[in-house]
Structure 1
Amino acid sequence: MNLGNKMILVVDDEPRTRQGIKQTLEVWATGRYTVETADNGIEARERLLRERVHLLITDVRMPEVSGLDLIRSLEGQTRKPVVIVISGYAEFEYVQQALQLGAVNYLLKPLDKGELLQVVEAALKRGEEEQRREKLEKLVDHKLLEMDPERSGMGEPVKEALVYVEQHLQEQLSMAEVAGLIHLNASYFSVLFKEQTGVPFSEYVSRLRVQRAKEMLLQTRMSIGEIGERVGYRTDKYFIKVFKSLEGMSPSRYRQQMGDRQTEIQ
């Protein structure tokens, strides 16, 4: 049973190959990974649906449910394992199909222990890098990234407005107030801001507040209410509403999901 370690699942209908891989990996893993086995594709498919597997090592050819079938069954899953396939020399056509389906590498029988460990380490490293990328994608607001004052040709008034908003995010900001501070008519400022940033002023403020909130959700233990207040929302209810509209989930759910991923990566 997996008690919290990352899991490696080895699937092969040949007992000698299956147990050989398991023993080699268990000695190498020294408790860092749980190594489990399945002797057929049906059992493996059930485990992949039921448990979190980080690395799948599977023979490409097995009766009933093949390694290729297993890889296809992963389509649509949010947390796919990294996949390595095993094959004989005469089965390279299957290896090519597996690579096209998303397998990251392959091993040819008879297996060499040194090569096995080298390929496994590289695959696990690749999986960790993909998790980091996914986490960054979820953390960063791309519309905010696109608003680079140094590259987008923004005028000084809009730059000043961006700086002011960042420095006073905790306060109750209004477009009229910010426009007045930079000596512009509110209606003109509204048009100018959207033209030069690509988003309306109110949307920019919401996005920046939610971006700051996401950082605090992952980096602090502050309550949802405290974080909402820190980024300028007077009530938890409104903060949660705005957060869900931009992220598709509540702040508490975001903290749970992203916190889990961060723990897995470490």
Structure 2
Amino acid sequence: MKTILVVDDEPRTREGIRKTLEIWSSGHHEIITSSSAVEALDWLSSYKAQLIITDIRMPEISGLELIEQLGDSPHHPSVIVISGHAEFDYAQRALRYGVVEYLLKPIDKKKLIAAVELALKRNNDFDQIEQMKRLVDAKLIETAQEDRLYSEPIKEAIQYLDQHLHEPVSLRDLSLVLHMNSSYLSVLFKEQTGLTFSNYLTRKRIQRAKELLAGTRLSIAEISEQVGYQTSKYFVKVFKSSENTSPAKYRRQVIDNIGEKIQ
């Protein structure tokens, strides 16, 4: 359930928006109201909203100042601004902060609902992009995109590693499989992929672990085994070093962000 926060110091406008959105959402969204930006910021310090609908002119803190203060938030909500006047300067500033829509009072209900639907869609799109960033290792993607330029031994090395992530593979093991000198293989691997053998293998294992954490019910110990770590304790240590969080917390965060249960 997504949360929409309505911020307006005029009770009639605030309640009108709330009632319109409650009828539109049919219980699928939580509609919260605040009578000031100060009250809204206090609420936002403990809770999260996916969309904020705020008046421009309010006492103490204006709607624009509210948006500015939200700029540093890691979960920046979509914003719709409402105003009693067609103030060009305000509109310009609002658009610079990524405001989805600028609505004039008295508010047309159809325009309000259309703006809300657009804002929530943009919020979903942003969440999906952020989610992909959490799931995918950009350096591995870059490495994969350049594989056509690799020599045959490095292509074979990458293919072998991808197929044997669940096994304890060392550079010496790989050099024996490819019938190459291990020192030469190490230099060639780094030269062509931009990653050392150990760094590539670790990134690949963590990437696979993230996929399993997000998409399966496997336990941490089972995932540890599937990505080639002999003990779950060492796997957790490596994962924390790479992602700045534990595998269990990562799984919870991913599931919370996409709003779905693990299949």
Q: Identify the TM-score tier after normalising by the shorter chain.
A: over 0.9
Contact 1:10–1:36 (CA under 8 A) maintained in structure 2: yes
**Mapping of residues 43-82 of structure 1, within 5 Å:** 43-82=39-78
Q: Which residue of 2 aligns with 1:230?
A: 226
Q: Who is 1:241 aligned against?
A: 237
Moved more, 144-153 or 107-116: 144-153
Q: Does 1:92 align with 2:88?
A: yes
Alpha-carbon displacement from aligned partner over 1:76-98 (angstroms, at most 9, x marks no partner): 22212111101133423112112
Distance 1:133 1:28 in 2: 27
Superposed displacement of residue 150, structure 1: 5.7
Distance, in Å, in 2 between the alignment partners of 1:167 and 1:88 is 63
In the TM superposition, structure 1's runs of 4+ consecutive aligned residues that sit over 4 Å from their partners are 149-152
Q: CA deviation at 1:142?
A: 0.7
For residues 1-266 of structure 1, the aligned pairs below 5 Å read 5-148=1-144, 152-263=148-259
- Quote how far apart the aligned CAs of 1:264 are: 6.8
Q: Is the 8 A contact 1:149 1:159 kept in 2?
A: no
Aligned 8 A contact 1:157 1:182 in 2? yes
CA positional deviation for 1:253 = 1.2
- In the alignment, the residues of structure 1 paired with residue 31 and residue 86 of structure 2 have an alpha-carbon distance, to the nearest angstrom, of 28
> 1:55-81, CA deviations, whole angstroms, 9 ceiling, x for partnerless residues?
100001101111011112213222121
Unaligned runs of 5+ residues in structure 2 are none
Contact 2:22 2:31 in 1 (8 A): yes
Determine if contact 1:60/1:95 at 8 Å carries over to the other structure: no
More divergent stretch after superposition (22-31 vs 83-92): 83-92
Q: Does the Cα contact within 8 Å between 2:100 and 2:115 map onto a contact in 1?
A: no
TM-score by length of 2: 0.95
Q: Which deviates further from its counterpart, 44-53 or 184-193?
A: 44-53
Which residues of structure 1 form unaligned runs of 5+?
A: none
Per-residue CA distance 1:19-50 (angstroms, 9 max, x = gap): 11111111100011011111111111111112
CA distance in 1, matches of 2:260, 2:49: 12
Query: How many equivalent residue pairs?
Result: 261
1:167 to partner: Cα distance: 0.8
What's the TM-score, normalizing by structure 1?
A: 0.94
SS of 1:61's partner is coil
Aligned AA (1:8): I
Aligned-residue Cα RMSD (Å) equals 1.5
Aligned partners of 2:26, 2:234: CA distance in 1, in Å?
Answer: 49
- CA contact under 8 A between 1:6 and 1:34: conserved in structure 2? yes
Identity of aligned residues (%): 52
